[in-house]
Amino acid sequence: MTDRGDELAKLMPKVELHVHLEGSIQPETLLRLAERHDVHLPAKTVGEMQSLYQYTTFLHFLEIYQMCTHVLLTSEDFAEITYEFLQQQAEQNVRYSEVMVSLSDHLIRGVPAETVLEGVFEGQRRGERDFNTRMSILLDPGRQWPSYVTEVSKLAVQHAGNGIIGFGIGGDEANFPPDLFVEDFARVRAAGLHRTAHAGEAAGAESMWGAVRLLGAERLGHGVHAHDDPALFDYLRQHQIAIDMCPVSNVKTGAVTNIAEHPIRRYLEGGLLVTVNSDDPPMFGTSITNEYRVLHDTLGFSESELQQLSLNAVQASFLPEREKKSLRRELESGFAVPGRDTSYW
């Protein structure tokens, strides 16, 4: 790890588009919430929690992810983790985040949607006020529960323009293909919501085609199999459909063998609209700052290339064009004066 890479990663103003709220809970907070609600976790210390984050398969990761959501029961819990998330983002000089909330993981446990959303909105309100960073919310149900995908899509429509900016699907991509969710995506599209989908992570190029053609996804999460099909690669380039890439996560889940083989540089140089993100940071032993550091130190990304990734995230965001222009100017100003005081918004 070079000093220069460390400095760039810390100081660079950033935008993050692929990060899960529940996957961003720090181990200390998980343990505190488990004790608060007398919820059993197979770990009693931070070190033991981190040992759980060693995955044998992608489905094993999903199992651990869902287990960790069991500590979230009240609106205060959701407000707490949202507030802490924004604090963490501000400490990393992240100016704007689009955050996925895994609502189906809570509905399936009997936690009402109102409990989740009231808490998230309250944590967002306080966090944005106290930490001078911003976030928008996307509802992201697990596709392994198709009936809950439908329920969450209806809830997204209900809250469209009132705290929810978009809708997507994550979860078991290999066993639950895009064609199962055509009606759900048509529903949210008709309501004016933005659409994204995890695709090309645990399945191949055909899954990515389905997300684009059948679901009308405007962004794709992970997308590490885009190069498997030259026609797909060309289509994504021509239409500038963004791919939100998560290098460390992709290695930890086995989607990519190692960082050196990650296709993010190939995609950027090939003209794809790629962004870099942390996915579920503590669950993968990473952070958005670390992702930038890894790109610089391991994959040889230059300062200008890292800046381009940050600006790509502005372009790929679901913000209105006026707000994109303002955010772009803000980032470019931050690039021009490294180490400046970050007092924004």
Tell me the per-residue pLDDT of 145-203, one tens digit each, with 9 for 90 and over: 999 999 999 999 999 989 999 999 999 999 999 999 999 999 999 999 999 999 999 99
Query: For 91-149, how does the pLDDT look when each residue is reduced to its tens digit (9 = 90+)?
Result: 999 999 999 999 999 999 999 999 999 999 999 999 999 999 999 999 999 999 999 99
∠236-14-311 over CA atoms, to 5°? Answer: 40
What is the model's pLDDT at position 5? 76
Indicate whether 175 belongs to any domain.
Answer: yes
How far are the Cα atoms of 6, 8, 219, 268, 291 from residue 309, in angstroms, in the given order?
17, 13, 15, 9, 11
Q: Which of 97, 98, 12, 4 is nearest to 333 (CA)?
A: 12
Domain that holds residue 233: 3-324
341 within some domain: no
Query: Catalytic pick from 98, 201, 291, 330?
Result: 201
User: Beta partners for 103?
Assistant: none
For residue 104, the domain's CATH number is 3.20.20.140
Residue 133 lies in a domain: yes
Residue 173 resides in a domain: yes
With pLDDT > 70 as the criterion, what percentage of the chain qualifies?
97
pLDDT score of 330 more than 70 = yes
Q: What is the pLDDT of residue 221?
A: 98
| Domain presence at residue 337 | no
Higher-scoring residue by pLDDT: 276, 5 = 276
pLDDT for 337 equals 58
In DSSP notation, 146-182 reads HHHHHHHHHHHHHTBTTTEEEEEEBS-TTTS-GGGGH
**Apex CA 113: angle with CA 110 and CA 114, to 5°?**
120
218 falls within a domain: yes
Query: Is residue 201 annotated as part of the catalytic site, yes or no?
Result: yes
Which pTM does this prediction carry? Answer: 0.94
Angle, CA of 205, 206 and 209, to the nearest 5°: 90
> Domain count of the chain?
1
The answer to whether residue 11 is domain-embedded is: yes
Chain centroid to Cα 200, Å, comes to 15
Note whether residue 339 is domain-resident: no
